[in-house]
Amino acid sequence: MKSLKLEEFTRYKFLSGIELSPKGKHAGFVVHGSNLEDNNYNSNLWLYNLKSEGLTQLTALDKESNFIWLEDGDSIIFPTVRDEKDKKKLESGESFTQYYKININGGEAQKFFKIDKRVTSIKQVDQSNFAFAGIFDHNEEDLSSLNEEEKAKELKKKKEEKDYQVIEEIPFWSNGGGFTNKKRNRLYIYDLKTNEYKAISEATHSVNTYIVSPNKGKILFTTQSFEGVVSLSTGIYLYDIATQSTKTLLQEGEYACGYTDFIDEGSIVFAGTKGEVYGMNENRKFFQLDIESGEVTCLTPELDAGLYNSVGSDCRYGGSTSYKVEDGNLYFVTTEGENSYLNKLNIKDKTIKKITHGEGSIDGFDVIGGNIVFIGLRGLKLQELYSLEDQEKQITNFNQWVMDEIKLSIPEALTFENSDGITIDGWVLKPVDFDDNKKYPAILNIHGGPKTVYGTVFYHEMQYWANEGYFVFFCNPRGSDGKGNEFADIRGKYGTVDYDDLMQFTDEVLAKYPNIDEDRVGVTGGSYGGFMTNWIIGHTHRFKAAASQRSISNWISKFGTTDIGFFFVDDQQGGTPWNNVDKLWWHSPMRYADKVKTPTLFIHSDEDYRCWTPEAYQMFTSIKYHGVEARMCIFKGENHELSRSGKPKHRIRRLEEITNWFNRYLK
């Protein structure tokens, strides 16, 4: 067995996009891997035969990152650009999506059809029609309607406009999406025979989810209206393909909805919340809506769990399905405690059954005809594909080498009752090759969110630090997911009860693990964890070094500069710069910067529009002004997801910066 090296994550494989064929005979999925030469990720399509249990790699050009099954069950289509002429058109500024088709039984992928839009997702309706969501830009002409001369003129104009950015609405940008002014994710119907498409959602609306009805006659979709200021609630609509008409099933203003699907031709299910008790982070429930009458019935009145996987890890890439209606049951993922689980809701009798029980996370699944497959993190294993019958069965071994070759530290649970009588769950990683006769430095790691959780799944950065001779400890303070609405609700309390939990957890760790040198303890975290790192260094000097990542330092400036600031700050801090500026400033770490003594490293990305760079600049400037050692590393071309899906070389440099900083002050 060998020690884990910093750059070892470039050998990991990440799985996503799991989808069963229409008859449930095969499962398609995507395998991603790092490409250091191009400083990017390679992605290829793979196939699993449920009967023979055989695995096949379908593509090998490293560019196929998503796909859908066609209804024949033998063919897959996927977007990619392979033709040199198509590559030149994209370089010239044209927007289109080229789809290729491949038969899973053999043969090369062939061009299938091209849509003159940047398609974000697509679903087959029938042999001749597809529904797709694509980017609609109010600022640009539709090139497909222009002749060659007009097209050349418009492309020239588009190129010249790159020197300017006009904004007229909020949010005016999105993390990972850049400036989004007057751009919408719009829903369309594409006719394969005529090569024409038609918009079926409003030009001012952005589509979140959509699904084709079982009889292929209707399309159910959710949108948020966006005229000047984006709506925070969701409307649900039903489009009739034959009559080309749209019916409103649920008006905007009633619920924030994250998912919807058909139960049958007469009713739908949706996950929603009004946020009346716990605000925007309130756990959603499932509701049934009768299409004819509009009557809404809650299916899960007692359910109080996050309806998604919020178990943190830096070893994922890409996404997968988290909900599915199948044969009268709704399958869905919940986060409970430090794990996420797959559940089955019997819609008729409203009973819920947990159908996975292992520790770890469900990162995506699919189910057809009783066949269930999922991508998951199990124990300290990295992502693999699993099937589920009476019990879980591991299908792939892409990352088995980690378990076979690498020294890992097993998380040790440390649960305690805080000063308010609430149970807090935490864990400690001992240094690899731990020697009871030695003293060691330690790192407190704080998760983002705050409504996410740490668990016992594999975390590259923490395993690396354990291999470098550090204790690493982490917990789920109040504000975290997994324990219901009341536990997660820290609106107006940031930096108070959550800070108390983290400090008491640190006390508990130091008491239980005397081999930690309490004079050599550091603290780090990203996003909310970055906020908390900034807060901690202004309220205690117990940590000898800090690394603040994609942080928040000033709730007043965050309100007006970030993609979620204008609603997140008001909801979570209980005020705006006009009605409660004193409260916003009281909860801002920058207010306490003159108290900081801790040497601090700031890590930030210049395209992080969730926590924009001025948050780090302000805190960096403030503590430098007061004579504190500080360093700041800005990653160009990266966003809020740097530590999870940033370019491989950038992820290496990020972890080098943090580790070197801690080595400097803690070793």
Q: Are 212 and 189 in contact (CB under 8 A)?
A: no
Q: What is the pTM of this model?
A: 0.96
Residue type, 321: T
Q: Tell the burial category of 301 from Cβ atoms under 10 Å away from its Cβ (0-12, 13-18, 19+).
A: exposed
**Tally of CB atoms within 10 A around 586:** 15
Q: Domain boundary at 340, 371, 401, which?
A: 401
CA-based Rg of the chain, rounded to a whole angstrom? Answer: 25
> What is the predicted pLDDT for the residue at 652?
98
Q: Are 328 and 471 in contact (CB under 8 A)?
A: no
Run of H or E residues at 651 = helix 648-666
Is 29 part of a structural domain of the chain?
Answer: no
Q: Are residues 370 and 416 part of one domain?
A: no
> What is the predicted pLDDT for the residue at 187?
98
Q: Measured between alpha carbons, how far is 532 from 545 in angstroms, rounded to an integer?
A: 14
Q: Measured between alpha carbons, how far is 664 from 571 in angstroms, rounded to an integer?
A: 39
> What is the predicted pLDDT for the residue at 139?
83
> CA 575, 580, 581 angle in degrees (round to 5)?
105
Q: Domain boundary at 385, 401, 417, which?
A: 401
Q: Are 605 and 634 in contact (CB under 8 A)?
A: yes
Residue 357: both structure tokens together: 């029980």
Is 13 part of a structural domain of the chain?
Answer: no
Residue 553: both structure tokens together: 């330092």
Output the domain CATH number for residue 394. 2.120.10.30
Is 136 part of a structural domain of the chain?
Answer: yes
Is 204 part of a structural domain of the chain?
Answer: yes
Q: Domain boundary at 366, 401, 436, which?
A: 401
> What is the predicted pLDDT for the residue at 152?
76
Q: Are residues 390 and 437 part of one domain?
A: no
> pLDDT tens-digit profile of 114-172?
999 999 999 999 999 999 999 999 888 777 777 777 777 877 887 887 889 999 999 99
**Dihedral sign of CA atoms 649, 62, 89, 176 in order:** negative
Q: Are residues 438 and 291 part of one domain?
A: no
Of 559, 547, 523, 549, the closest CA to residue 635 belongs to 549
Q: Are residues 661 and 637 part of one domain?
A: yes
Range of the domain at 588: 408-666
**Tally of CB atoms within 10 A around 560:** 13
Of 364, 355, 259, the closest CA to residue 309 belongs to 364
Q: Measured between alpha carbons, how far is 547 from 445 in angstroms, rounded to an integer?
A: 10
Q: Are 318 and 42 in contact (CB under 8 A)?
A: no
Q: Measured between alpha carbons, how far is 107 from 247 in angstroms, rounded to an integer?
A: 43
Q: Are residues 392 and 277 part of one domain?
A: yes
- Three-state DSSP at 56 gives strand
Is 638 part of a structural domain of the chain?
Answer: yes
Q: Are residues 322 and 175 part of one domain?
A: yes
Q: Are residues 254 and 128 part of one domain?
A: yes
> What is the predicted pLDDT for the residue at 161?
79
Q: Are residues 392 and 420 part of one domain?
A: no
Is 353 part of a structural domain of the chain?
Answer: yes
Is 86 part of a structural domain of the chain?
Answer: yes
Q: Are residues 481 and 345 part of one domain?
A: no
Q: Are 537 and 653 in contact (CB under 8 A)?
A: no
Q: Are residues 557 and 641 part of one domain?
A: yes
Q: Measured between alpha carbons, how far is 386 from 276 in angstroms, rounded to an integer?
A: 39
Q: Measured between alpha carbons, how far is 620 from 478 in angstroms, rounded to an integer?
A: 27
Q: What are phi and psi of 658, to 5 degrees?
A: -65, -45
What residues contact 598, with CB distance under 8 A and at least 6 apart?
Answer: 537, 541, 543, 544, 545, 546, 628
Q: Are 198 and 216 in contact (CB under 8 A)?
A: no
Residue 486: both structure tokens together: 């009341």
Low-confidence stretches of the chain (pLDDT beneath 50): none
Is 11 part of a structural domain of the chain?
Answer: no
> pLDDT tens-digit profile of 384-423?
999 998 899 999 999 999 999 999 999 999 999 999 999 9
Q: Are residues 462 and 332 part of one domain?
A: no
> What is the predicted pLDDT for the residue at 155?
75
Q: Tell the burial category of 337 from Cβ atoms under 10 Å away from its Cβ (0-12, 13-18, 19+).
A: middle
Residue 584: both structure tokens together: 């916003």
Please give the tally of structural domains in the chain: 2
Q: Are residues 373 and 486 part of one domain?
A: no
